[in-house]
Structure 1
Amino acid sequence: MTAGTCFAGAGCRQGHDFRIGRAGMGRQFRLLAQAACLLSLLAGVATVQAAAPLVDTNAGPITGKSTDGVDAFLGIPYAGDTGRANRWRAPQPVPAWTVVRQATDFGADCLQEPPHNPPGGSPWTAEYFPIGKASENCLFVNVWRPAGAATAGGLPVMVWIHGGAFVGGSGAVPLYDGTALARQGIIVVSLNYRLGIFGFLAHPALSREAGSSGNYGLMDQIAALRWVKENIARFGGDPTRVTVAGQSAGAASVHALLAAPSAAGLFRQAIAQSGSGMGIPIMPHAAAEAMGEKLLAAAGVESIEALRALPADAVAKAGKDPSLGPPGLRFAPITEPAILPDPAKQRSNVPVLTGLTADEGSTGRDWSLASVAQLEDLLVRRFGDKAVHFRPFYTASDDATASVAVKRLLREQAIASMLAWAQTRPADAAPVHAYLFNHTQTGTPAERFGSFHSVELAYVFGTLDKSGRAIQEADRAIAASMMGYWVSFVRDGDPNAKGSPAPLWPRLSSGKIMGLGDKTEPVESLQPDTWRAYRDFAASGGKLGLF
């Protein structure tokens, strides 16, 4: 700053010269003007600093950023580095800090495989995928809250667990931005957890070391929920009003957490989007340990210590070694005594919101089947000698009607799988509310992908503008409706807000599910005869699933 001038916006006109009449008076005036400018500039800086939200977590103070009525705190470590010596160990405590830590950018994503690209193309565009660097130092949470939440306090909390087949994904995926939901009066927390070979490796030596092995990714999720319980009140949230939510692998994680003894008491409600009754078998501990032994052989090492000493990319490469056969080893949650002793034994006192999209299987090979012969082949492949019981429901006289029947079969099988899961809950269980999302997103070829797996995410989070698609008013209306239902469930354990003009969402026990998307109205889950056939098929040992 030169004599007689000040910075623009600091309270004086830029470049103005305050020299007047006598030299002495001019000098005094210049000094006074400079002091006024300096004070104004400092006041402006103080205002900016005051606007940056500050929270003192149990590990140390952090500062976030505030935009349009929402405070965001990004890249907060909830556990320590998982690399080398900490690889395949329970999440370690975060070293405390005393200097204010900037929480304005996302932390690193966890190491992962490249995004899946189905042979027939993909409906998933950039907003569905992680955008940051990846590292073994990746256990971060992100928090969005309404501005002023710290003063109000007691806000309900939604903790989001990302999908990605347990081999990909991140809490920083653009679709999961919690800003729009936070504006509705809740706090949103997203998290990272270890993936693939780094998150779910089991081995006898690891089991001897810690009493069990294999579910490190689930341990991370539980550690993040504990972080929320210990810290969320400092952000203005209520630690007794936590809803755990997830989609796809995140939904599978939600069900694992419902069964995990060490997760009891960490959340009050659960949301499982695509979904419940996924039909994916969970590997037993002994088989997972045997797979771990194959990995050591493929890596050319003889001990876990040696495997920990390898660079991360060498470990990942060993999991895809040709000696293991295509596509290499696949790692996901397993049954083991420490974290997940019995996946089927899920706590039933937790209200659940669950559901699926109408076209979950549209990226799979069966979706494009379009002849009478292919329909018959699908019936036999899916139902074996029980196909005779399903033919009356899926008939076709030509290729056009065969294509329609194929798509209806895939959809109804997924609904039946969800219903079969709900049937395992006792009569006095907390309520289940279920949905079917049926809407083709603008810019997605309806004839190919329809209401594809994960399409509802942009509507739930209100992040439609994260895509490059031309968003229509109908899309925004659907998003507003769905956010209203989700926020009500997070707040009260019921998607039906008191006094809301929105259509009433019935409990699944009524036999109805909520249609969301093109129409918002209750619909029959399945016709009674169709459900009876699926129920009998499952009772006889038949396998149902989402896909």
Structure 2
Amino acid sequence: MSPKESHIKRPAIPQKPSTPPARRIGISYGAAMLCCGLVASALAWALVVPTSVTAKPGTVQLGRNLFQGNTSSPDVTVFYGVPYAQAPVGNLRWRAPRPVATSLFAPTKVIDATSPPLPCIQGTTGGGDAGGAGSEDCLKVNIYTPSNATARSNLPVLVYIHGGGYTYGNPVNWPFVHWVEQDPNVVVVSVYYRLAAIGFLATPELANPAVGDLNVGFLDQVEALRWVQKNIRAFGGDPSRVTINGESAGGSSVELHLVANEQPSLFRGVIAQSVYRHTLATPEQKREQFQEFARRAGCATGGPVAQLACLRKAPLTAIAPAQDAKASYDTPYTLWTPVIDGKVIRDIPSTLLLQGRFKRVPVIVGATTNETLAGGDTVALGLKNFFPQLTEGDITDLERAFPASDYSDPFIVQTVTGASSVRCARDIFVKGISPHENVFVYRYNQPNPTSHQPGNTAHAAENWMMFGGTNTGFNGTTEFTGLNALIAYWLSFVRSQNPNTHKLARSPSWPSTRSTTRLVLQEDRAGSTTRSGMVVEEEPADEVAMCAEVVRKVVPEQH
């Protein structure tokens, strides 16, 4: 999914004090997380309906509490770690997020929001990292707002949901200071949500509200959007003009919000980057994974209800290594991902899109040129791992649909799985949504020069352009030229639901499509800083045919 956190280590802007390092959970920390002191701290964070922006620079008043933001940038104030829900610890593990308390007992205090909080507990990211870094008290948002914004500014809002395979990710690694500096007509919110087993543990018993809840990591995102509706005006935002954006697992999350049973709608536009179009399992299909997780965490005794009670008392030193155990090849039944719960997530997103069962909002959707995902030793095994319901005949049909030239690629397995799971999601969006709403399609074609495959525009390559290279020294004049054009398209869409309204003058018009037209996002190949390298193209015929076969397999691959 998205690049590992270790690939983007710098803070968004100079911090006061320095960014707390991600750290491994120790026994004393685990015990502290479960103690009653956190209940008191939740009350101390209590928020009520926003009142006003104070006269003191860099502060916002929410209820009785005054939040002091980071003012290192003269033009942007960042409020780090503002809580949108109670800490999901102890008996609140694997339960839907509880809104931040509005207790009258909350003291009047100044809250330091100048430094990023610890991320949610991380799952393994490979490379010998056993996961477990972070904090369970993580249901928070970072808010980037123009320094001169007031409660009456009514600026459109971008809510960003990070990627990382629903397993890892720290929103501070997707900084937005330079976005708001470029266009001070928006407010940006980035969301922390529960990950890996803590966010996406599933077994049929969790469908019983008396026992717990399914998809709590996704429900965290929903609660964050509800918090935005109630509180973003205090930071200068307009709750009626919210656009949601995400890449990889974040793009998959955005797709889920588009089709989820959320009432009322909490956004008016969607930007879905490299949508990870995987099979969603049922809770029953996750039962074996649950049992293995419980066994590894020391909670093998009794039935699932008793095991959940044990797991809620287990220290994080037991939870973290238990959630990292996986099959040699990931499948929908061994990954920590959302499940079909029959309530909020009613069916496979691709199916719902093609059936017209989604929120009627305009969409930007796209993928990189060389989307690649791992999946197995052969094309057939890779497709079977991603879509276990496919028959041998289905797999043969898909193999034949890929151009012969692809099979000379040494990364053919990754190419095929990446195309069927990510690239062709664009075509599903167009087929399902374009008859009802504007759809703006793109192909991102700018390789990440720091990648081990610098010639390929691989999965998540746009993160380097949009975030990763911003403060690392890799971006030169040409790169910043491409970055500014891309940001202008994105924020124009946030402001007007059309990427063309506030685009840069040198950038081409981006047509909405009901067919195969798309915009290629790339730098000028000659290195010009005044001429755009972006062009409008038609999707090649062999790619159209390939994705058409993928669309035909949506039902058999997921049911």
TM range (shorter): 0.7 to 0.9
Structure 1 distance, partners of 2:417, 2:437, is 29
Partner of 1:259: 259
Structure 2 distance, partners of 1:458, 1:69, is 23
> 1:387/1:511 Cα in 2 relative to 1: closer, same or farther (>3 Å)?
closer
1:418 and 2:431 aligned: no
Partner of 1:508: 513
> 1:365/1:107 Cα in 2 relative to 1: closer, same or farther (>3 Å)?
same
- Which amino acid in the other structure matches residue 280 of structure 1? H
> 1:363/1:517 Cα in 2 relative to 1: closer, same or farther (>3 Å)?
farther
1:453 deviates by 1.6
Partner of 1:376: none
Partner of 1:477: 481
The 5 A counterparts of 1:295-444 are 295-298=293-296, 299-302=299-302, 303=306, 304-320=308-324, 329-344=334-349, 345=352, 346-361=357-372, 384-386=395-397, 389-390=400-401, 393-395=403-405, 414-425=422-433, 427=435, 429-444=436-451
> 1:437/1:426 Cα in 2 relative to 1: closer, same or farther (>3 Å)?
closer
Where in structure 1 are there 5+ consecutive unaligned residues?
1-48, 119-128, 369-379
1:258 deviates by 1.3
Structure 2 distance, partners of 1:247, 1:241, is 20
- What TM-score do the two structures reach when normalised by structure 2? 0.74
1:439 deviates by 1.2
Structure 2 distance, partners of 1:112, 1:430, is 37
Question: Any conservation in 1 of the 2:202–2:283 contact (CA below 8 Å)?
Answer: yes
Partner of 1:140: 140
Question: Any conservation in 2 of the 1:58–1:231 contact (CA below 8 Å)?
Answer: no
SS in 1 for 2:367: strand
Structure 1 distance, partners of 2:93, 2:424, is 40
Which of residues 96, 100, 113 is equivalent to 2:123? Answer: 113
Question: Any conservation in 2 of the 1:142–1:191 contact (CA below 8 Å)?
Answer: yes
Structure 2 distance, partners of 1:311, 1:343, is 34
Which of residues 455, 462, 465 is equivalent to 2:461? Answer: 455
Partner of 2:534: 520
Partner of 2:186: 186
Partner of 1:535: 548
> 1:405/1:294 Cα in 2 relative to 1: closer, same or farther (>3 Å)?
closer
Partner of 1:73: 79
Higher helix share: 1
Question: Any conservation in 2 of the 1:383–1:542 contact (CA below 8 Å)?
Answer: no
1:115 deviates by 2.3
> 1:355/1:99 Cα in 2 relative to 1: closer, same or farther (>3 Å)?
same
Q: Percent identity?
A: 27
> 1:204/1:543 Cα in 2 relative to 1: closer, same or farther (>3 Å)?
closer
Partner of 2:495: 491
Where in structure 2 are there 5+ consecutive unaligned residues?
1-53, 380-390, 524-532
Question: Any conservation in 2 of the 1:386–1:537 contact (CA below 8 Å)?
Answer: no
State the Cα RMSD in Å.
3.5
Structure 1 distance, partners of 2:373, 2:218, is 29
The 5 A counterparts of 1:167-316 are 167-173=167-173, 176-183=174-181, 184=183, 185-210=185-210, 213-262=213-262, 264-275=264-275, 278-289=276-287, 291-298=289-296, 299-302=299-302, 303=306, 304-316=308-320
- What TM-score do the two structures reach when normalised by structure 1? 0.75
Structure 1 distance, partners of 2:479, 2:378, is 25
Structure 1 distance, partners of 2:157, 2:120, is 24
What count of residue pairs does the alignment treat as equivalent? Answer: 461
